[in-house]
Amino acid sequence: MAKNKKRRSGGGSGGKKKTQQQRKGQPRPAASPPAPAPAASSPALWGVGLALLLLSVAASLMLVLQSLGNLSLPGCGPASACGRATSSVWGSVPGLGWPLSHVGLAYFLGIAAAWIVSGGRLPAALRWIVRLSAVGSIGLIIVMIVGGYLCPYCLAVHLANLAFVGLLELKFTGQPMRPALRPIGALVGVFVIATGILAAVQTREAQAVEERDEDALSQSTDAIIEGGGEDAGFTGRYHYGPEAAPVRVVIISDYQCPDCKNVESELRQILATRDDVSFSAKHFPFCTECNWKAREHNMNPHPNACWAARAAEAAGILGGDEGFWKMHHWLFDRSGSFTQAELQQALPTLGFDYTTFVETMGSPETLARVEADINQAVELGLRQTPMVFINGVELTGWRARNALTRAVDRVAATNPPPLTADADRPPSALQKGVNDWLAQPKRTLPSDGSGWAWGPEDPAVDIVVWGDHLEPFSIELDRRLRAVAESAPDVRYAFRPYPFDKACNENMQPRSPQHDGACDAAKAVEAAGRLAGLEASWAMHTWIVENPRSFSLDAAQRKARELGIDPSRFATLVASPEVAATLTEDIAAPRPLGLRGVPFLFVNGRQVPFWRLKGEPLVERIVEVARGGEAG
């Protein structure tokens, strides 16, 4: 056995040496050619995939900026499809309240980073995440279609995402990147960093909004304690609580309005714990079926709100105070939405006969009552619901935490006497417009490099407006402000250009109205001033705003000749870099102030939130108040 083992061992050693010698004497085989690049490495397809991801990033970013209040997207106001989509239950992560647009932006940034790192060869784990995102996009598109709020920006996000997933599944069939840690790390890292930044910005914005709401709440509560205005007898048709009460709450609301439901919920707790508060309700349904103001603005965000309001009025007609409040609570509990079958099932439990109730609800009387409330709300300057009044004075800042409860507590602590609604005196829409201006913070406006303001150097009233020389509302406001400035020697007025013309304004928002020639109009005013002084600048400005449809550079040259300006020098200066630079400064100046559209008006450093009130001289009244020393 030992000999055999040794022989096998020796033979093995010798064989090993022989094999090594044979390998040394033989040429090594040539290296095999590289395998063909996987489909994912195609530069063109990789670029298409990245472009689709960046499109989703861009659309998500616009929605994020809109939600933070830093950007006003066209067609994305609170009552629009976009606004209703982002404010719906599907607009945020359930249980967290974190906006879905924030999640989308962080996700698409992360996937874009993973796409770049992997050269388009996403590992299997990320491919499944991408597929799940496609399922989410399809689901959200269906929700938007069924809910009637097909937001174009949301749709752009989801369609770009679906196109990316389709490209990944159909074209990118190469081997995934190995190891997979780099692209997965890129996704996770970018997602976490982006989410952290968004959380910090969201927190800062929320704090700023909370501070503004707290200031508004404090100021309006002070005004409630001091007393109201002139018109008497402000109340609804039905009352909850004592008729004569120290604290009298009136709320103009919409049964389908989420903010109204929140305020209603807080008020119910107040009424359940206090016996010194009375409440009456008025209607302002944001629905075109009964609201002429909604039809005027083509706003129909709450399609059942009119019938909800008429149902409440029918209950009041048939059941008095008790009947009205039963229906009022039932409607708010279901956010103002009901079908015929649901109404038929609920009416007996509320104490109503179905046939009688439906006949009453559809009668002209209920419509007339709702329309009367709408008209009064417009007269009071309502711009959103809810509109809350305590003892006849509007309570602003109601979004602050427990705002209504705290306001009621402060008012009640002053021991006001129990009074009826005859003592309540809400201000008119005109006075509300003035009050809204007075409530604005005083801002330091960017300096005007041109210096073409009309009026004294040290005015009692300093008016600055950013506008577009060819835009109708800018023209209307300018006409009224020039009339004010011409009749008041202590008023200074400056019209600073913000043309809605892509030829010089890169800050224009998507789908903004384009006013071709507005850049040239602004340059013409600047050139006239540089060549012939202040009066020539205003003469050119006035001629343009009075003839917007016929404006052209040729026409402006002819006007320059009338003003005694050499047309060739004028044309050269209009086209000069110096004038273009001044216009660029004017365009950039109002952005930090929050410009979202034109005209953008300031009086004595305070922004005028609303300057146009049908049939009322609101701007002129604001100037009059400013001349009297208020908000100076």
CATH number (domain holding residue 120)? 1.20.1440
Does 274 lie in the same domain as 158? no
Does 89 lie in the same domain as 196? yes
Does 58 lie in the same domain as 185? yes
Name the burial class of residue 33, with classes exposed (0-12), middle (13-18) and buried (19+) by CB atoms within 10 angstroms of its CB.
exposed
6 located within any domain: no
Answer with the one of 370, 404, 427 that is the final residue of a domain: 427
Max CA distance (Å), the chain:
129
209 located within any domain: no
pLDDT of residue 176: 60
Does 285 lie in the same domain as 184? no
382 located within any domain: yes
249 located within any domain: yes
Does 399 lie in the same domain as 510? no
Does 252 lie in the same domain as 180? no
Query: In the chain, how many domains are there?
Result: 3
Residue 613 tokens, joined: 């009130």
Does 614 lie in the same domain as 470? yes
279 located within any domain: yes
Mapping DSSP to helix (H, G, I), strand (E, B) and coil, where does residue 225 land?
helix
Does 193 lie in the same domain as 239? no
**CATH no. for residue 369?**
3.40.30.10
Answer with the one of 170, 203, 236 that is the final residue of a domain: 203
pLDDT of residue 506: 82
Does 186 lie in the same domain as 141? yes
Answer with the one of 140, 170, 203 that is the final residue of a domain: 203
Radius of gyration of the chain (CA): 34
Which residue positions in the chain have pLDDT lower than 70?
1-41, 69-84, 86-87, 171-179, 227-233, 425, 508-512, 630-632
d(CA 391, CA 394): 8
432 located within any domain: no
Mapping DSSP to helix (H, G, I), strand (E, B) and coil, where does residue 287 land?
coil
545 located within any domain: yes
* Owning domain of residue 402: 228-427
Does 286 lie in the same domain as 144? no
Residue 437 tokens, joined: 């201006």
Does 283 lie in the same domain as 401? yes
DSSP 176: P
Does 237 lie in the same domain as 193? no
66 located within any domain: yes
